[in-house]
Each structure stands twice: as C-alpha cells, then as structure tokens.
C-alpha cells in the first residue's frame, strides 16, 4: 500500500496491491451489511450509534430516533463507495485510487467504523477496560481480525499524514 497526496484534488492517492483491495472490498461489503441491521441487534451498532446523553435514556432514545437513519445512511454510503472503488473485475496486480477531499473523508470515516466493528468483535472494546488490550489472540479468527484492525489503522494513519484538514473545497 502506498498513500500519497493528490495535490490537484486536495485529497489522496492510494495504490493498493490487489490482495489489499480485495480485503477492503470484502470488509466494506460486510460493514454495509452490519449497518443494515436494526438498532440494538448487534453490540457493534451500539458503538457506532452511541447514547448522546449519559444519564438520560429517554433523551438518548429521542436523539437516536431523529439522527440514526441519516447517520446510518451516510455510513452506508461511505462503505459502499470504498467497496465500489476497491472492487476490480480483473487482476492487474495493483489498484490505483484517487480521492478528492470529500471522498477522502468518506474513506476516513469508513476506516473508523470498520476499526470500531473489528474492535468490538475481538474484545478491544470490552466493557471492562483492559490495561493491555493487545492480549494474545484466542482464536485464529481473532488473530486475523486483530491484524486487519492494525492494518486498517495503518491505512488511516497514512492518509492523515498527507491530508490537510484546512483544505476546504
């Protein structure tokens, strides 16, 4: 993976190995699926749509009623955009993606949502804060998701190194 600034667009250029693109496309499709579930059916959703009030369930429920669908839609759109950008028909070895500032934001938020879901799935977001969240993975699947979590963080960190938040369109 290579991330560089896309000066003309005010965004980033991301060059992915085809395996990396396939992985992102697969995850993006899964994030869309997770976001299509009803509220409170999946603990990861509670982290993506958290309470807006600490001690006021009624106010939090009201807030969620007014905001959740729009938030879910923009998160789904962001995931779908990543899925579409990384889904390639033929195997050309690399996938070259150029994003403007707005599209870069979509990627950043998608990568955040993906990491939150992976964190919830692998116990990084346990209710009891763990002093050392990077404990030995219990299963092969957990190990795989932890590695993906780290890699997705690396992709996001690389994007943040070249993006300029003052770059308004």
Partner 1 sequence: MAQTIERPDVREATDEASVTAVPWVTIVWDDPVNLMTYVAYVFRSYFGFPKHRAEQLMLRVHNEGRAVVATGDRETMERHVAAMHGYGLQATLRRADE
Residues in contact with partner 1 by the rule CB under 8 A: 48-54, 63, 67, 70-71, 74-75, 77-78, 101-102, 105-106, 108-109, 112-113, 115-116, 119, 124-125, 129, 133, 153, 156-157, 160-161, 163, 165-166, 168-169
Cβ 150 to partner 1, closest distance in Å?
11
Shortest distance, position 149 Cβ to partner 1, whole Å: 8
1, with CB counted inside 10 A (0-12, 13-18, 19+), is: middle
Which CB atom, from 86 or from 156, has the smaller least distance to partner 1?
Answer: 156
Nearer to partner 1, 21 or 121 (CB): 121
Smaller CB separation from partner 1, 33 or 67: 67
Residue 6: is it exposed, middle or buried by C-beta count within 10 angstroms (0-12/13-18/19+)? buried
Supply the minimum distance, in Å, between the C-beta of residue 15 and partner 1. 21
**Comparison of 83 and 115: residue with beta carbon closer to partner 1:** 115
Residues 18, 22, 23, 28, Cα dihedral to 10°:
140
Task: Kindly report the backbone phi and psi dihedral angles of residue 69, in degrees, each rounded to the nearest multiple of 5, phi listed first.
Answer: -65, -40
Q: How far is the CB of 30 from partner 1 (least distance, A)?
A: 16
What is the enclosing helix (H) or strand (E) of 96? Answer: strand 94-99
Report the nearest approach of partner 1 to the CB of residue 54 (Å).
5
- Nearest 5°: the CA angle 132, 135, 141 is 140
Compute the distance between CA of residue 126 and CA of residue 60 in angstroms, rounded to an integer. 22
Contact 124, 48 (CB under 8 A): no
Nearest to partner 1 of 5, 94 (CB atom): 5
């Amino acid at each position: 993976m290579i991330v560089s600034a896309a000066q003309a667009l005010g965004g980033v250029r991301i060059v992915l190995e085809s395996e990396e693109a396939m992985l992102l496309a697969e995850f993006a499709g899964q994030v869309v699926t997770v976001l299509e579930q009803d509220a409170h059916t999946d603990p990861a959703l509670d982290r993506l749509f958290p309470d807006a009030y600490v001690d006021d369930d009624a106010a939090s429920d009201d807030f969620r009623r007014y905001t959740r669908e729009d938030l879910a839609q923009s998160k789904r759109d962001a995931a779908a955009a990543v899925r579409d950008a990384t889904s390639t028909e033929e195997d050309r070895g690399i996938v070259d993606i150029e994003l403007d500032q707005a599209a870069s934001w979509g990627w950043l938020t998608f990568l955040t949502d993906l990491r939150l879901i992976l964190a919830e799935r692998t116990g990084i977001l346990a209710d009891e804060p763990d002093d050392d969240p990077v404990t030995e993975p219990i299963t092969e699947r957990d190990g795989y998701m932890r590695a993906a979590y780290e890699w997705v963080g690396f992709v996001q960190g690389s994007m943040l190194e070249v993006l300029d938040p003052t770059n308004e369109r």
